[in-house]
Amino acid sequence: MYPIFRLAKEMVKFRNAPALPTEGVHVSHHICWPWDIDPWIELNNGRTLTLFDLGRLPLMHRLGLVQYGKSQNWGLTVAGVSMRYRRRVRAFDRLEMRSRLLGWDARFFYVEQSMWNRDGECTGSALIRVAVADSAGIVAPKKMAHGVGWDENSPALPDWCQAWIAADAQRPWPPTA
């Protein structure tokens, strides 16, 4: 089940947090609860992606994207992800999540998120492509950027992010059997 109450808690907790600059990092803290684990008593890989919502949505709120998007009847949706899992997360482990906007291109925003354990080790990191959508389809991110008062030109995306974008563009769609 989706952790709607945990998301609501995060949104309430950060509702009055200071706005972040475009390059700002949103930091939040979480616990791996028993309902987040798999049969090996570790954080479930799919649940990891769901938990990243708990950091990404407050980040988008603090950047002003949620509020402006709502005013335009636009939504934010995940349109792609690349995930690295590097350290085990066990039940009741405490984690620090760091979420930051890397920038955007003609179609998507790119967000980097990571989880860190108490020993300061990164347990996993995701590169998430986020689309702004309305009833007609994808809205150009520069429209959102302009609406929140940013320069419509993105900060330079890191080389590794650009390489992922290029590699993902090579994948056939729809996939072949």
Q: What are 123-137's pLDDT values in tens digits?
A: 999 999 999 999 999
Please tell me the distance from the alpha carbon of residue 138 to that of residue 141, in angstroms, as a whole number.
9
For the whole model, what pTM was predicted? 0.95
Please tell me the distance from the alpha carbon of residue 112 to that of residue 129, in angstroms, as a whole number.
9
Q: What residue spans define the domains of the chain?
A: 4-169
Q: Tell me which amino acid residue 42 is.
A: E
pLDDT in tens, 21-75: 999 999 999 999 999 999 999 999 999 999 999 999 999 999 999 999 999 999 9
What is the dotted CATH code of the domain comprising 4-169?
A: 3.10.129.10
Tokens of 127: 């590169």
Q: Report how far apart, in Å, the C-alpha atoms of 89 and of each of 1, 42, 162, 175 are.
A: 19, 5, 29, 32
Query: What stretch of H or E contains 55?
Result: helix 45-62
Query: What stretch of H or E contains 122?
Result: strand 122-134
Rounded mean pLDDT of the chain? 96
